[in-house]
Amino acid sequence: MSETINFKIDGQSVSVPKGTTVMQAAYQMKIKIPHFCWHPGLSVAGVCRFCLVKVEGRPKLEIACNLQASEGMEILTDTPEVKEAHKWALEFHLVNHPLDCPICDQAGECGLQNYYMEVGKYQSQMERPKVLKPKALDVGGDLVLDTERCILCSRCVRFEKEVTKSEALGIFDRGDHAIIGTYPGKKIEHKYTTNLVDICPVGAFTSKDFRFKQRVWFLKDKQSVCPGCSTGCSIDLFAKEQTGTYYRIKPREGESNGYWMCDTGRGMYRHLNIETRQRFHYVSKNGQKIDIDQKESLNQLASKIKEVGPEHVSLLVSAQYTNEEYEAFFDFFVGKLGVKKVYQWREPTEKLNDFDGILLRGDRNSNTHGLMATLKKYGVGNQKIGNEFDIAVSSAAKVVIALVPEIPATFPSLQSNLQTLVSLNFVSFWTVNSEIEKIKGAKHVVPVKGFSEKKGSFTNHFGKLGHLTSPFVSVIEGINCVASTTRKLSEYF
Amino acid sequence: MNSSNNSSIFSEKLKTVIEKELTRYETKRSAILPICHAIQDECGWVQEKHIDALEKEYSLNRIQVKEVLTFYKAYKQSEPKKFEIEFCDNIVCCMMGAKDAMAKIEELIEKQGVNSEFGLKGVPCLGVCDQAPAMLVNKDRHHKITNENVEKVLSRYSSTI
Ligand code: SF4
Ligand code: SF4
Ligand code: FES
C-alpha cells in the first residue's frame, strides 16, 4: 500500500509516500516553512497557524503541517499573500508576549525572535495592555517555566503525553488567559525534562543548569555522541572555544535517539572542563609527586615494561574509549609485545540489562561492544561482558596499564577502585579525569583526551557506530588520545 | 449493591452515571465533561478529592480533568455560596449595562452584609443576548437586569436567608 504522490513545492518536484504532509515533505527537502507547534517527533496539533502556505487553485491559505500532499498539488511558500499571513500570525503571538528578550535565556535561538527578524519588523498595532501571568516557576527537573513567554503551541504537552507518557503538563483556562502548567502542587518527575527546553520554540521553558551562564551566540557547537550509556545518542556539544569551557549538550536528530536525549546525558560535558581534568604526567617517588614531561613519562614506562617483561604486564581496560583507541592499544600491547593478561574494568554495581523504555540503558559505558569486538579480534581476555577488576588485582602482574573510566559520574566505584590500584606494585593510570590526584602515591599517571577532543567511534547497544567527527581543540597542552599515546610509547621499543 | 467498591467517595447513583459515560465515547477523555457535570449537580462543586478519585478509580488523567474544569466557567472549583450569581460579561450584555449592574450587585451585597451567602462572578455568554443583560442565580435565569431593577430581583433571595 505504499502509493506514491508526486507534487511540487515552490516549483521543486518531489515524490512522497501517500499520507505525507506538506510540512514533512518540506522538512525533508530542507524548504523552510515557518512553524511553532509542529515538531518532527510529535503529533500534529495545528494550533499556531503559522505554517500557512498557498495551494495553487484553492482560495484560502492552508496550514502545511496538517495538509496531506496529493497528486499534482502545487504549493507556494513564498508569495506576498503568504508573507502577509505570517506577519499577522506573528503579530497575534506577540500580543501578550512580554518581549523580555534582554533577560530571556532563549535569546539567540528563539523561534519568535528568528521569525520576527525574517517576516516581522513592524510597529505593534495593539493598544491594550498585555495579560500578565506567572514567571520563573520551578516545575521540576531541570526546568524553569515562564508562562508569559509561552505561545501555547502545545509541543510540551504533546511531549509529556507521547514521549514520556507522564502527561504532567496541561493548558488551563482559555483564550488569552490560557496558561501552561503542571497540576497545581505537582512537579515534572521524569528524566527527560531538558527536551522540553529544546522543543519549546520560545523561552517559556529554560534550563536551570544552563540559564544565565552564557549567551548562546558566544558558544560554538560541534557534532558528537553522548558517552553516558550504551545507547549513544547523537548530540551537539556547546563550548566556548577560547577557554575550552563546556556549557551544555543538546540532542541531534539521529538513528539511536530520534530527537531526544535523557537528562543524565545532559551532564556529560562537566568532566571535560579543566577543573576536573588530569593535566600532567607524573610519577611518585617516596610519596612525593613529581611532574614530568611526556617524553620522560613514556620513556620510564617503556623501561619498566622491558624490565619486567611482557609476561608480567597486564591490561585493565574500561569500556569508555573509542574503537580506534582500542585497536591501537591492543595492536601494540597484544599484537607486538605479546601481553596476554587483559581484564575488563566495569562498574561492579551496574545493572547491565536495565532500560528505562525510552533511551537510557543500564550499561553506562559508551563502547562496551567495541571493546568486546576488539578483545575478540585479538583473542584475549574473557569473551563475555563482565567486571574482572578483582581478578586483575589478584593476578599480581608486576606492571598494570589501566585505561581509567573517563566519566566518574557513570562509575560510582571509581574512587574505591583507584584506591585499590594505587596500593599495587606498579600501575600506570591513563586517565581523562583527575580523580587519581585525590589519592596519594600513584606510581605513574598519563593524561589522555576526553571524548570531545578526539576523532573516532563508539559501537552502541545495537552494534551501530556513533562517530566523533569534529573534535574541539584541547586546552591542555600536548595531550594525546590513547591511540597516539600508544604509538608514541611504541617508539621506545 | 456491589460492596467491593464501597470505599469510593462517589454515591452509587454517581458511580452508575460515571460508568455509563465512560463507555459512551470513543475516548475516555470525552467523558470528562458529562462526568464533571454529574459530580457538580450532586455535590455542588468539583473538589480535589473528586479529581483524585476519578484518577484512582477510573484512570482519568488529572491534568485533563483540570484542563476541562478551568476551560469552562460553568464548572465550580470552589465551594459555592448559598446563592451564586453568574453575570454575563460578554459584549452584548456589556453594551446594555452589565458592568453597571454588576457594580450595583457588589454594592448591595456589601451594604446588606450578605457576603457569606452571595457570590458574584462574570461568565461568558448565557445565550440570551436578545434579553441582555442576563444573569443566573443558581439555576434561575433573569433577563434585562439593570442597576434599577436588580435590587428587587435579588430581594427574592435575600429574604429567604
Ligand atoms: S511552554 Fe513552550 S512548548 Fe509549551 S506550549 Fe508554551 S511555547 Fe509551546
Ligand atoms: S540515553 Fe544514554 S546516550 Fe542517550 S543521552 Fe542518555 S546517557 Fe546519553
Ligand atoms: S506548525 Fe502548522 S499550525 Fe503550527
Per the CB < 8 A criterion, the answer to whether A76 and A53 are in contact is: yes
pLDDT band at B3 (very low <50, low <70, confident <90, very high): very low
Q: What is the pLDDT of residue A101?
A: 83
Give the residue on B whose Cα is nearest the Cα of A174.
B71
Q: What is the pLDDT of residue A124?
A: 58
Q: Which ligand ends up closest to the CA of A47? A: 3
pLDDT band at A126 (very low <50, low <70, confident <90, very high): low
- Protein residue with least CA distance to atom 2, ligand 1: A200
For chain A, the distance separating the N- and C-terminal CA atoms, rounded to the nearest angstrom, is 65
> What's the rounded mean pLDDT across residues A435-439?
96
Alpha-carbon span A210 to A219, nearest angstrom: 12
> What's the rounded mean pLDDT across residues A58-81?
96
For residue A37, give the ligand 1 atom closest to its CA: 8
Q: Which residues of A touch B124 (CB under 8 A)?
A: none
Q: Which residues of B touch A182 (CB under 8 A)?
A: 63
Confirm or reject: Cβ of A115 under 6 Å from ligand 3: no
Residue B95 belongs to what H/E stretch?
helix B91-95
Question: Is A167 close to B64, i.e. CB distance below 8 A?
Answer: yes
Q: What is the pLDDT of residue A62?
A: 97
pLDDT at A2 over 90: no
Q: What is the pLDDT of residue A122?
A: 55
pLDDT at B5 over 60: no
Q: What digits encode the pLDDT tens for the residues B94-145?
A: 999 999 999 999 999 999 999 999 999 999 999 999 999 999 999 899 999 9
Grid cell digits, residue A423:
596500593
pLDDT band at A370 (very low <50, low <70, confident <90, very high): very high
Closest-CA distance of chain A to residue B65, Å:
10
pLDDT at A249 over 70: yes
Per the CB < 8 A criterion, the answer to whether A247 and A238 are in contact is: yes
pLDDT at B1 over 50: no
* Interaxial angle between packed helices A323-330 and A482-490, expressed in degrees from 0 to 180 and rounded to the nearest 10: 20
Global pTM value: 0.86
Q: What is the dihedral of CA B110, B113, B119, B125, to 10 degrees?
A: -40
Distance from Cα B90 to the centre of ligand 3, integer Å: 29
For residue A263, give the ligand 2 atom closest to its CA: 6
A400 Cβ neighbours under 8 A, 6+ residues apart: A313, A314, A315, A316, A392, A421, A424, A425, A426, A427, A428
Q: What is the pLDDT of residue B2?
A: 43
Distance from Cα A41 to the centre of ligand 1, integer Å: 15
The domains found in chain A, sorted by start residue, are: 4-94 (3.10.20.740), 101-107+127-272 (3.30.70.20), 277-490 (3.40.50.740)
A331 Cβ neighbours under 8 A, 6+ residues apart: A378, A486
Share above pLDDT 70 across residues of chain B, in percent, rounded to a whole number: 96
Question: Is A167 close to B71, i.e. CB distance below 8 A?
Answer: no
Q: What digits encode the pLDDT tens for the residues A285-335?
A: 888 999 999 999 999 999 999 999 999 999 999 999 999 999 999 999 999
Q: What is the pLDDT of residue A79?
A: 93
Confirm or reject: Cβ of A264 under 6 Å from ligand 2: yes
Per the CB < 8 A criterion, the answer to whether A304 and A399 are in contact is: yes
Per the CB < 8 A criterion, the answer to whether B43 and B13 are in contact is: no
Question: Is B70 close to A174, i.e. CB distance below 8 A?
Answer: yes
Residue A427 CB-half CA count within 13 A = 24
Q: Which residues of A touch B71 (CB under 8 A)?
A: 172-174
Grid cell digits, residue A83:
508573507
CA diameter of chain B: 57
A174 in reach of chain B (CB within 8 A): yes
Least confident range from A148-162, A439-453, A468-482, B147-161: namely B147-161
> What's the rounded mean pLDDT across residues B68-84?
93
Q: Cell 583473542 identifies what position? A: A379
| Total residue length of chain A | 493
pLDDT at A393 over 50: yes
Q: Which of A257, A320, A458, A461 to mutate to test the pocket of ligand 2 (most atoms within 8 A of CB)?
A: A257
Confirm or reject: Cβ of A367 under 6 Å from ligand 2: no
Per the CB < 8 A criterion, the answer to whether B100 and B107 are in contact is: no
Query: How far, CA to CA in Å, does B72 sit from each of A485, B63, B68, B138?
Result: 68, 15, 6, 16
Give me the numbers of helices (H) and strands (E) for chain B, helices first please: 7, 4
Residue A37 CB-half CA count within 13 A = 23
Share above pLDDT 70 across residues of chain A, in percent, rounded to a whole number: 98
Alpha-carbon span A427 to A56, nearest angstrom: 73
Whose CA is closest to A267, among A282, A247, A287?
Answer: A247
Q: CA angle A480-A434-A427, nearest 5°? A: 75
Closest-CA distance of chain A to residue B13, Å:
28
Give the residue on A whose Cα is nearest the Cα of B66.
A172
A183 in reach of chain B (CB within 8 A): yes
pLDDT at A277 over 80: yes
> What's the rounded mean pLDDT across residues A456-463?
97
Q: What is the pLDDT of residue A152?
A: 95
Q: Which ligand ends up closest to the CA of A35? A: 3
pLDDT band at A238 (very low <50, low <70, confident <90, very high): very high
List own/partner pairs for B65-68 with CB under 8 A and 24 or more apart.
B65/B32, B65/B36, B66/A170, B66/A172, B66/A183, B66/A184, B67/A170, B67/A171, B67/A172, B68/B32, B68/B33, B68/B36
Residue B147 CB-half CA count within 13 A = 14
pLDDT at B6 over 80: no
pLDDT band at A426 (very low <50, low <70, confident <90, very high): very high
Q: What is the pLDDT of residue A212?
A: 83
Q: Which of A224, A253, A262 to mutate to test the pocket of ligand 2 (most atoms within 8 A of CB)?
A: A262
pLDDT band at A412 (very low <50, low <70, confident <90, very high): very high
Pairs of residues, one from chain A and one from chain B, whose beta carbons lie less than 8 Å apart: 23
A462 in reach of chain B (CB within 8 A): no
Whose CA is closest to B82, among B40, B38, B116, B43?
Answer: B116
Q: Which ligand ends up closest to the CA of A63? A: 3
Per the CB < 8 A criterion, the answer to whether A457 and A370 are in contact is: yes
- Protein residue with least CA distance to atom 8, ligand 1: A153
| Total residue length of chain B | 161
Q: CA angle B32-B71-B96, nearest 5°? A: 130
For residue A359, give the ligand 2 atom closest to its CA: 1
> What's the rounded mean pLDDT across residues A240-254?
93
Closest-CA distance of chain B to residue A175, Å:
9
Q: Which string of b and e fits A264-295 if b means at least 16 CB within 10 Å?
A: bbbbbbebbbeeebbbbbbbeeeeeeeebebe
- Protein residue with least CA distance to atom 7, ligand 1: A150
CB atoms within 10 A of CB A177: 11
Q: What is the pLDDT of residue B161?
A: 77
Grid cell digits, residue A187:
512537579
Q: What is the pLDDT of residue A421?
A: 97
A167 in reach of chain B (CB within 8 A): yes
